Amino acid sequence: MSSFKQRMDEARGLVKIDLVLRRARLVNVFSGEIHETEIGIHEGNFVGIGSFKEAETEVDLCGNYVVPGLIDGHVHIESSLLCPEEFCSLLLSHGVTTAVVDPHEIANVLGVKGIRYILDSVDTLPFNTFVALPSCVPATELETSGAHLGAADLAEFIADPKVIGLGEVMDYQGVIEAKPDMVEKLELPVMFKDGHAPGISPQDLNAYYKSGIHTEHECSTVEEVRERLRRGFHVMLREGSAAKNLLDLLPAVTSENSGQCLFVTDDRHPIDLIQEGSVDHLVRLAIEAGIDPIRAIQMATINAARAIGLPRLGAVAPGYQADFVILKDLNRFDIKEVYWRGVKQSGSDVSRRERLRFPRFSIAGLTESVNLGNWSDNKLKVSAREKEANHAKVQVIGVKGHSLVTAALSRKLPVKNGFVQTDQAQGIAKIAVLERHHGTGNVGVGFVEGLGLEKGAIASTVAHDSHNLVVVGMSDEEMNLAIQTCAEMGGGLCLVDGDHVIGKLPLPIAGLMTDQEAEPVTQTLNELHEKAHLLGISESVDPFMTLAFLSLPVIPELKLTDLGLVDVDRFRLTETVL
């Protein structure tokens, strides 16, 4: 029998196949209905729906629901603080079988070596990992990154079948002005180009779309969603750990335009991944907010596949890869089992450790990434313009709860011995960003309001996007102790109260990730969060995730890098002391 005839007979139910799911209630993302059917699977693919007489294995689902494996269309593994193997295992337990990852975090530290590590570590996992090559390393020239990647550096990865796109293009000014280095990256032969253009004008969106960038995950208002949908963008509705935009954006989703919308997590900490989930959490949030369950599932599956260009994923239908999730309850999206290529991979009860544990890829050559050069805590001092003055007028970064956007504030701060001080009464702490890749000794120092810190210091080597060392504190002495502790760990998270280190989490892989399992990491991170709140940090703020974005100079309004305070709207360095 020819292979073609064999495939036809499998689809028609005339020959024995590997697996049949009987009495399944299929959530059909094509027809937008739920119908009872049998589902046939052979050699890792769906052969069809209908009736199948013989199979090596038969599973009676007793009316349980079947939905396609979920797809996260834009996520950074590094933000989970977990190594790729542990990250993929955790996502599988939450019904996510596909993720499009942008490794620009580790690429900003280790360059091409970081990208190769991500690709190698996921190569044999039972999970669909696709890579969007980082387009902006560094994100801007207003910071010092560990590497500079041009189109030629990225081109060496094009032949890898897991590489399918160009990662979020944050330099939208470079796009619309057709800067040569950006044009070279946009001309790379990849399937899709990912967007990142907060604050871009509606008129400039035309040019941004014409460049070939057709997705966007940085919308924070309904009007921004509508402007992008009108021009043909696929809008990624994001719910991460720091940026929680989903519920604000859902009113923009209608029956007419929902096909252009999909779910992404972007940056999500392990606490949220274990306690709430990944894309499954977004599905539940959408359903609770009144979105029809079928529509929510479409946004988590087939819409994502179409937006990104994954033709055999996102549906339970003939010829599609047999990635699917069995649900006990549709409205609660209560997961029973997860299958990848027709093989059960995970149950949903992470607390009972039902998820798979994958062997680790070597991290040799990826550690010891913290080099502060000739460090002195004198670099934390901020001089007043008038040494005899009692107060100084200072630009202050204003933190907003559950948002990556900050405010540009002007405040009067006390001066002592000619140096500007923190002010507990106003809730203003000092912030510093130390270059950690090349030992340049660069240090940017400023002030921040809205974290709620009353005492102590908090530090991290996870600091988007160049991932220098960021520290916030109420005194230079506490900040210095936190800095020294992060350096001694080879990267990680740290809390200080007075002259004591009260908590830390080593992140030896590029200062971004650990190869430990998610559960103990989550326990340590929970303890760090509790201690951070005891230092006064607001309950509405994710301490380390928020800290990590205070150095990202592509999201308005005011940020700090190792080169100094950045006016993001004007895209230039500005003075801390006015």
540 and 456 within one domain: yes
Q: What average pLDDT score do residues 231-260 get?
A: 95
Query: pLDDT at position 349, please?
Result: 52
Residue at 394 is within a domain: yes
288 and 148 within one domain: yes
* pLDDT above 80 for 391: yes
Helix (H, G, I), strand (E, B) or coil at 395: strand
* pLDDT above 50 for 351: no
Give the tens place of pLDDT for each residue, 40-58. 999 999 999 999 999 999 9
Give the tens place of pLDDT for each residue, 83-116. 999 999 999 999 999 999 999 999 999 999 999 9
Number of domains present in the structure of the chain: 2
Q: What average pLDDT score do residues 403-409 get?
A: 90
Q: Measured between alpha carbons, how far is residue 147 from residues 107, 153, 552 in Å?
A: 7, 11, 16
Kindly report which listed range (77-81, 144-148, 177-181, 353-357) carries the lowest average pLDDT score: 353-357
**The CATH number of the domain where 136 resides is what?**
3.20.20.140
Q: What average pLDDT score do residues 200-208 get?
A: 97
In the listed set 268, 294, 311, which residue is the last one of a domain according to the structure? Answer: 311
Q: What is the pLDDT confidence band of residue 350, given thresholds at 50, 70 and 90?
A: very low
Three-state secondary structure readout of 102-145? CCHHHHHHHCHHHHHHHHHHHCCCCCEEEEEECCCCCCCCCCCC
Query: pLDDT at position 404, please?
Result: 80
User: Which residue range forms the structural domain that includes residue 141?
Assistant: 69-311
299 and 440 within one domain: no
445 and 303 within one domain: no
Query: pLDDT at position 354, please?
Result: 66
Residue at 528 is within a domain: yes
302 and 167 within one domain: yes
486 and 403 within one domain: yes
445 and 297 within one domain: no
Residue at 199 is within a domain: yes
Give the tens place of pLDDT for each residue, 8-51. 999 999 999 999 999 999 999 999 999 999 999 999 999 999 99
Query: How are strands ordered across the β-sheet holding 469-473?
Result: 419-420, 406-416, 391-399, 443-449, 428-434, 469-473, 457-460, 492-497, 500-506
Residue at 109 is within a domain: yes
Residue at 293 is within a domain: yes
291 and 149 within one domain: yes
Query: pLDDT at position 347, please?
Result: 66
413 and 531 within one domain: yes
Which of 133, 183, 184 minimizes the C-alpha distance to 160?
133
Give the tens place of pLDDT for each residue, 268-290. 999 999 999 999 999 999 999 99
Compute the distance between CA of residue 342 and CA of residue 305 in angstroms, rounded to an integer. Answer: 19
Residue at 267 is within a domain: yes
Q: What average pLDDT score do residues 429-443 get?
A: 97
194 and 75 within one domain: yes
138 and 246 within one domain: yes
In the listed set 261, 294, 311, which residue is the last one of a domain according to the structure? Answer: 311
- Read off the DSSP letter of residue 146: S
In the listed set 311, 331, 348, which residue is the last one of a domain according to the structure? Answer: 311
Residue at 61 is within a domain: no
* pLDDT above 80 for 387: no
Angle subtended at Cα 398 by Cα 281 and Cα 277, rounded to the nearest 5 degrees: 10
539 and 409 within one domain: yes
Residue at 450 is within a domain: yes
Q: What average pLDDT score do residues 292-314 get?
A: 98
Whether residue 324 contacts residue 282, with contact meaning beta carbons closer than 8 Å, is answered with no
